[in-house]
Amino acid sequence: MILRVVSLNKKYQHIDGEVDALKDVNFDVNQGDFVTITGSSGSGKTTLLLTLAGLIKSTSGIILFKDFRIDKATDGQLSAFRKNNVGFVMQSFALIPYLTAIENVMLPLAIFNRPKAQKYNAALELLQLVGLDNRKNHLPKELSAGQQQRVAIARALVNNPSLILADEPTGNLDPSLSADILNLLKKINREKKVTMLMVTHSPAAAEFGNTRIHLQNGRIDNIFSKEIKMNLEAVIN
């Protein structure tokens, strides 16, 4: 187990009263899982992802990453946790417009005391993985939307994370490009054994998860595991 969430709650204060963004959320994630999180707008998907990253403080409950209590950590501890363990892939790509593709990938390594050549080679290897080493010196505006998201994925991997949190990574892409990005994420998940948690509104994208969590009004409405389904089918047959 890499992640455990127990009785997680998040409340917001609003002019119209208290809002329960997350209500008694419980689930486990194993190393190497690909978890997709679905639900209607306002169901708590992004709030859950940001809370797991320690970017939003929970109101109550436990978030355990291996033996590290995210919910009890200080800001400094959370910063170190993200630096060493987590990669982020966002819907907006969030590339720096005046940096080249390889410079964008190298950016998270700026806080590490490593030789520049080592950082460059690590970034180049990841651009090769996502099929963009021939575009390493291109600015984001010189890349297609799909290529920009591939650069963002390479950047998310550069600190060698054990967990990638992706928020609607195909939300700005057409169906064909979406399929390319999802297949790339699945390849990384399988080959590098990186655990993925991906928020998506797309039923097709949700199918890429071996575990699927559906939220409704801040609560888990359903958890579907392909492994459990296969075990049940084996018993039935």
Name residues whose C-beta falls within 8 Å of residue 177's C-beta, 6 or more positions apart in sequence: 144, 145, 146, 149, 170
- Per-residue tokens: 196: 């993925």
- Per-residue tokens: 211: 């575990």
Structure letter (DSSP) for residue 58: -
Model pLDDT for residues 85-130, shown as the tens digit of each residue: 999 999 888 999 999 999 999 999 988 888 899 999 999 999 999 9
Model pLDDT for residues 175-226, shown as the tens digit of each residue: 888 999 999 999 999 999 999 999 999 888 999 999 999 999 999 998 888 7
Which structural domain, as residue segments, surrounds residue 142?
3-236
pLDDT at residue 227, rounded to an integer: 60
The total domain count for the chain is 1
pLDDT at residue 215, rounded to an integer: 95
Q: Which SS3 state, helix, strand or coil, does residue 132 take?
A: coil
Residue 228 above 50 pLDDT? no
Q: How far apart are the first and last CA of the chain?
A: 29
Q: Among candidates 26, 75, 34, 38, which has minimal Cα distance to 54?
A: 75
Return the CA Rg of the chain.
18
Model pLDDT for residues 52-90, shown as the tens digit of each residue: 999 999 999 999 999 999 999 999 999 999 999 999 999
pLDDT at residue 14, rounded to an integer: 76
Considering the entire predicted model, what is its pTM?
Answer: 0.90
Model pLDDT for residues 163-182, shown as the tens digit of each residue: 999 999 998 888 888 999 99
Measured distance CA(10)–CA(125) in Å, rounded: 39
pLDDT at residue 7, rounded to an integer: 96
Could you tell me the CATH number of the domain that includes residue 181? 3.40.50.300
- Per-residue tokens: 105: 């990938």
Q: CA distances (Å), 223 to each of 25, 59, 86, 113, in order?
A: 11, 23, 23, 42
Measured distance CA(126)–CA(132) in Å, rounded: 9
